[in-house]
Amino acid sequence: MKTSSSTGSGRGIFSWLLLAAGVAFVITPFVLANATTSGRVEVSLPMYAGMVLGGLILAGVGLLSGRRTSEDDLRDYRHAYPMLALVGLIIIGVTGARQIFVPPTYGQYGHYRGAAPAEARVRKPRHLGQQQCKECHDDIGKLHDKDAHGRVACETCHGPGHKHKADQNNKLTEPRSQEGCLVCHRRLLARPPAFPQIRVADHYRLVGVKNMKLACVKCHSPHEPLYMDRDLRKARLHPLVHRCRDCHPGRTNRGLQRPKTHPAIFECSYCHKKRVADFASRKHKKLRCSTCHIFVKETPFAGRIVRDTDRRFCLLCHRKASFRSASAAPGIDPKTHMDAPKTACIECHSDAIHGDISAPTREPAQIPRPAPGAPATTAPRPAAMAPRPAAMAPRPAAMAPPAQRPAPRTPTAPAGSMETHP
C-alpha cells in the first residue's frame, strides 16, 4: 500500500508540474508580446500559436494524469512525455535562435531594422546619373539626348556605373542581344499602345530580315535608334496621332472598314490633303505617314513629330546586308552608292515619297462634315427623353433666351480604312 500511495503521490506531483508548465507556456507569449526592452524579444505569430498550443497540451495531460483513481485504471499518459519534451525543446531552440540572429534594432520602428535608414545614408550610390556619364562621353551624350532614347538613363541599359567611375578598366555592361532590347520593346497588351513595341516576326518580315534571332543593334544604334537629324525635344508639337491599337489592343488587320458612326479622330489628310493624295501614287504608299515622320507622344492630346531625313534612317530598310531576305526592300551599299558622305537620300529620291519637297506642306484644316441628308451618326435620344413635359414647354417672357445660335455640326470620321495612320 505504501508503494501504491507513494506512486500515486508522485504521479500527482508530476501532474501538477505538467499543469504549471502548461500555464507558463500559455502566459509566456503574452509576456513577450508586451515586453518593451528591445525588439529582439518580439516573437512572431506562429511561435505564439505554438507556445499556446504546447501549453494547452501540457495542461491537459497534467489534468488527465491526476485523475487516475485506482491501480486498475489503465489510463496512462507516459507515452506522451517524450513528445511533449520534444515540442518544448523545439520551441525553446527556435526562440533562442531568434534572439541570437535577429538584428538588435529590429522592431524599433516596426517590422524592419531601425538602423537601416542610417546605413542607407552612408552607403555610396551605385547609380550615378547621366550627367556623370557625360563628363567623359559628351559626344555620345549629345547623340543620345536628341533621339528617341533621350529620356532613358544610360544605366538602364549599361547597369550601375559606380565601379566604372572609380576604375575605367572596369567595363560596363554592353547589351547587344535581341532580348536586351525586347525587355522594353516586346509587344505586350499590358503596355501603353503608344509605347514603341514590336512583334519580332512581324517587324523582321516588314524590313526583310530572314534571321529571327538577329540582334537589333545590327540596324539600330542604341544611342540614336532612329538617327533623328534634329533634336526631338525641339521638334514642333503636333496633334495626337491615333492608331487602331491605341483603343483596340491586339488589332492587327488594318484593312477593316471604319464604321460611319466612328468618333472623329485626327488624320493627316485634314491638314495635308494634297500631300496625302500625292503620296498615294508613290512607291512608298504602303507605309504609314509616321513610319518616316516620327511621332512621339508627350501628353494625351499632343506629341512631337520629326521629319527624319538622315540617310541612316533610310538605310534601316534599304541597306544591303547578308541578313536581308529576298523579299526585302531594294538595298544599297552606302560606301559605293553615295558620292558625298552626308548626302540625304531624299535629295535624289524625293519622287519616291512626296515629289516636290519644296512645296508647302500645310493647308487650312478641312475636317469632313456629314453630307446633306445623310443619316445621323449619333444614337437617337431615348424615347423617354425625346418629348418635353407640357408643363415645362412654355417659358416666361422675362426669361426668354437670346437669339439661338445654330447648333454646331459634329464632325464624323469618314468611312475608310481603320488604319489610315499609324
Mean per-residue pLDDT, 308-328: 87
SS3 198: strand
- CA separation (Å) from 409 to 149, 263, 274, 369, 405? 42, 13, 25, 8, 12
Any bridge partners for residue 209, and if so which?
Answer: 324
CA angle 21, 23, 27 (to 5 degrees): 115
Q: Name residue, grid cell 427623353.
A: 385
Q: How far apart are CA 318 and CA 333, in angstroms?
A: 9
Mean per-residue pLDDT, 268-281: 85
Q: Give the pTM.
A: 0.58
Q: How far apart are CA 22 and CA 58, in angstroms?
A: 5
- CA separation (Å) from 127 to 145, 286, 305, 390? 18, 44, 32, 72
Domains in the chain and their CATH numbers?
2-120 (no CATH), 127-174 (1.10.287), 175-352 (no CATH)
SS3 228: coil
- Judge whether residue 388 has pLDDT over 90: no
Residue 70 identity (one-letter amino acid): S
pLDDT at position 183, please? 93
* % of the chain at pLDDT higher than 90: 11
Residue of higher predicted confidence among 58 and 114: 114
First to last CA, the chain: 103
Range from 103-107, 248-252, 289-293, 347-351 carrying the lowest mean pLDDT: 248-252
Report the mean per-residue pLDDT for the chain.
74
pLDDT at position 12, please? 59
Q: What is the pLDDT of residues 28-70, one digit of tens each?
A: 666 665 654 444 445 555 566 666 666 666 666 666 655 555 5
Burial environment of residue 120 by CB neighbours within 10 A (0 to 12, 13 to 18, 19 or more): exposed
Q: How many CA atoms lie within 13 A of 247 on its CB side?
A: 10
Are 304 and 295 contacting, i.e. CB atoms less than 8 angstroms apart?
yes
Counted residue by residue, the chain has a size of 422
**317 closest CA partner among 308, 328, 306:** 328
pLDDT at position 422, please? 37
Range from 99-103, 185-189, 252-256, 412-416 carrying the lowest mean pLDDT: 412-416
Mean per-residue pLDDT, 290-313: 84
pLDDT at position 274, please? 85
Q: Where are the alpha helices (DSSP H) in 34-191?
A: 45-66, 81-101, 116-122, 130-134, 138-146, 154-158, 162-166, 178-185
